[in-house]
A and B are shown apart, each in its own frame.
Chain A
């Protein structure tokens, strides 16, 4: 008890009971709806702040109460759910399962999203709300599944040449688009060429920029020829949703955004972006007709209302996160199937090395030692987070390197490092060197709660580092970090690991647009290129292990924790994975094999 109260006392000066905390949280909660929709692009930040708001340290540690490392569906029901076995061919499963399961057909799965579904085109890739729906309408050659493994979808098999310059995909021959037209290699070629054409200004362009040409030797073979090897292509590029050439080329991308057509198990019935989107089963889907008659996403901006709708059964699941307190309620509800996964997005403090004190490696290392992350996990995340060791999440077991320099809570070591680097304690408790104070600003998204930032501020002050908290709109922070105006921010996104792919060029390379830390490290730049050009998995693993070592030594940003994510399903939904899932959101990709017990 004493320990769990510690942080509250530090932060608030007094001990606070649960009700008082809740009261404050409710008052602060008013600002959430206002912010919610903005977080389409960085939902996890909301997650963090939700966590921060719902402090209830007086309770028993909720992290130990839920027993849901694996879903708690009744085993007798799940035993029959073969389609979800990741290692088997989905087509075969349907046949194997069909006979005893005629009565599985029917019903509509209702999922919730937090903000307007602004487009149904795969190119407007945005996490959660958008991707959960695109996954139903479209298929790709390969998809990264719920275990972060590549799984054949429209490709029956694929082959990567030894030099990594040629990807050959053999396509399934039984695939139809939702208008009845067959899918073949010309559609695949059209899809890649559409993204390759810079004039189309697609968001996927960067991923296919190194493709030189696309060949289609026959109707069911696609060959992609690369200028340079790109080992990340399988996860990032082979997963592009396949567009119908005959339709997309005719109506154009703009019209396609609200009138999409794919080969996926569900097709669009009604699209009302801010209200709901309903899909109906595609009878001629290559896996066979999905069990569900339909799938509907309702837009419910308010997190607590989403949680409530799952509790009352008004909806079956929410793709957007809910507040931690609601997660805990849902976890405690025995009838609800919950999945808990460690995210790949890093909760971190981005540090602009353009601000002189932050360019000092010792200062950054000292900050890592000065922050008690175990306490933060306990008090702010209720135990629902994993301490980061570097940039990659332990959820990626193949790429994760556990043997790197560790930063346990050690304020003395922090002070030593700062002393050694010449930062001497000044009279006002702030260290300085050559008359320059050890000071920086942490800019937060305006209106979001600040518990995590205040905690960090407190820990840093203990060792003589002065961190000032400011607020600004999200886009000001993004632009400011790029320009070096903003010193730091509390953020959550990936430095490699998205879809199980460890490549982190886009946030870590010295010249990357999103290198917010303005971190310039030649060794890393070389390693990043090597990691992309290396095609042998074991050799690649070496490269990313090395990158994590460098990140751990250099501390380009304060890598704090990988928060856990929760996905809940109402009891009537069956066919959910009965094994431990690594990539929680990919569960929605499996909707084609869900069924509803009425």
Chain B
């Protein structure tokens, strides 16, 4: 929302929920239908790309050092797994099954249901990311606001320098350095796995670093912007105390762009977790995705992409709804 269009009224929460509810319902349904189309397209594209890439799981599986296989054998195994059927047939079979919530069996982990594999890994990844996102929001928003309210203070300089570092340093490197310091030198935290709550500290921290930095910087700049608005001056002029001004007028408006970014960043989760799960040996979705892509385990890749497609569509929807809740003007449009 361009600042010029922000009205003094914006801070006031006046709206008629029943009327809003009806339009909103059709809006949500329309969005969901769009989402289904998006997910279909995404699944088709992934399926196509995976199959266009030359080779198949068997090359990676048995093309190894101990290569005592014949072409005939490979063909047999291939047909055993339906890999010799035409592309569209494989895709349609997959799609019909996926509609029923069945994602088939892993080719690499022969016979293991993909749904089981993916949901097990998803629990881990979701847990890690929820903690990390919660952590970064809880840290970034107050830090960003305080940095803005005390602009050019030591606190501002210090935190914004930290935020720049957080954005600039690669996750991979931070992860390894933390392992060296906390696991190898100090020996107080484990370097891998998720066996205890202690094991969560390092991976969650690494996952959170970059987003915390991004949110904090964003919160700071949008707070600064809102602080200069007329309605804030009006609020001050009419004698409101500092705290209500900050909470009701500044924070509420400054949060808008941050909420958008948090929602959009849902789609970054997969790439972020790949690295963290790799470094900290966490058996989550990111690592499973990578392994499966490299080993051409189509079924697993498809299921994960599907899941992320759904997650991104839903999170965008939730973002928009949150947006509407925070900024009443959006509901009326």
In the bound complex, do residue B109 and residue A302 qualify as a contact, i.e. CB atoms below 8 Å apart?
no
- Encoded as 1 (CB less than 8 Å from any A CB) or 0, chain B from 28 to 43 comes to 0000000000000000
Known contacts: A198-B76, A298-B192, A513-B70. The answer to whether A475 contacts B111 by CB under 8 A is no
Q: Taking the nearest CB of chain A, how far is it from the CB of B186, in angstroms?
A: 11
By beta carbon, the residue of chain B nearest A127 is B65
By beta carbon, the residue of chain A nearest B80 is A201
Most buried by B among A38, A115, A476: A38
In the bound complex, do residue A314 and residue B183 qualify as a contact, i.e. CB atoms below 8 Å apart?
yes
Q: Taking the nearest CB of chain A, how far is it from the CB of B295, in angstroms?
A: 7
Q: Taking the nearest CB of chain A, how far is it from the CB of B34, in angstroms?
A: 33
Known contacts: A207-B68, A478-B63, A513-B71. The answer to whether A302 contacts B281 by CB under 8 A is yes
Instruction: Answer whether residue B291 sits at the interface, using C-beta atoms and an 8 A cutoff.
Output: yes
* Interface bracket on B: 35 or more
Binds A, one of B48-56, B131-139, B231-239: B48-56
A116: B residues at CB distance < 8 A: 109, 283, 287-288, 291
Instruction: Answer whether residue A96 sits at the interface, using C-beta atoms and an 8 A cutoff.
Output: no
In the bound complex, do residue B279 and residue A473 qualify as a contact, i.e. CB atoms below 8 Å apart?
no
In the bound complex, do residue B287 and residue A478 qualify as a contact, i.e. CB atoms below 8 Å apart?
no
The CA-CA distance from A255 to B53 in the complex, in Å, is 30
B65: A residues at CB distance < 8 A: 41-44, 127, 345, 492-494, 498
Q: Considering the complex, which residues of chain A in the window 231-264 have a beta carbon less than 8 Å from any beta carbon of chain B?
A: 236, 253-255, 257-258
By beta carbon, the residue of chain A nearest B105 is A254
B121: A residues at CB distance < 8 A: 274
Partner of A476, one of B55, B179, B295: B55
Q: Considering the complex, which residues of chain B in the window 164-189 have a beta carbon less than 8 Å from any beta carbon of chain A?
A: 170, 172-173, 176, 179-180, 183-184, 187
Instruction: Answer whether residue B1 sits at the interface, using C-beta atoms and an 8 A cutoff.
Output: no
Known contacts: A30-B172, A37-B295, A41-B63. The answer to whether A118 contacts B108 by CB under 8 A is yes
The CA-CA distance from A479 to B54 in the complex, in Å, is 7
A272: B residues at CB distance < 8 A: 283
Q: Taking the nearest CB of chain A, how far is it from the CB of B57, in angstroms?
A: 9
- Encoded as 1 (CB less than 8 Å from any A CB) or 0, chain B from 223 to 253 comes to 0000000000000000000000000000000
Partner of A308, one of B53, B74, B184, B274: B184
Known contacts: A26-B173, A30-B172. The answer to whether A126 contacts B183 by CB under 8 A is no
Most buried by B among A198, A203, A492: A203
The CA-CA distance from A513 to B74 in the complex, in Å, is 9
Q: Taking the nearest CB of chain B, how far is it from the CB of A500, in angstroms?
A: 13
Partner of B54, one of A209, A273, A480: A480
The CA-CA distance from A176 to B165 in the complex, in Å, is 61
Instruction: Please list the residues of chain A having a beta carbon within 8 angstroms of any beta carbon in chain B.
Output: 26, 29-30, 33-38, 40-44, 115-116, 118-119, 124-127, 198, 201, 203, 205-207, 209, 236, 253-255, 257-258, 272-276, 298-302, 304-305, 308-309, 311-312, 314, 345, 473-476, 478-480, 492-494, 498, 506-507, 513-514
26 contacts between A and B (CB under 8 A): A34-B278, A41-B65, A116-B288, A124-B61, A126-B66, A127-B64, A201-B73, A203-B73, A206-B70, A236-B68, A255-B111, A257-B112, A273-B109, A275-B281, A301-B278, A304-B176, A308-B179, A309-B191, A311-B184, A473-B54, A474-B59, A474-B294, A475-B54, A475-B59, A492-B65, A493-B67
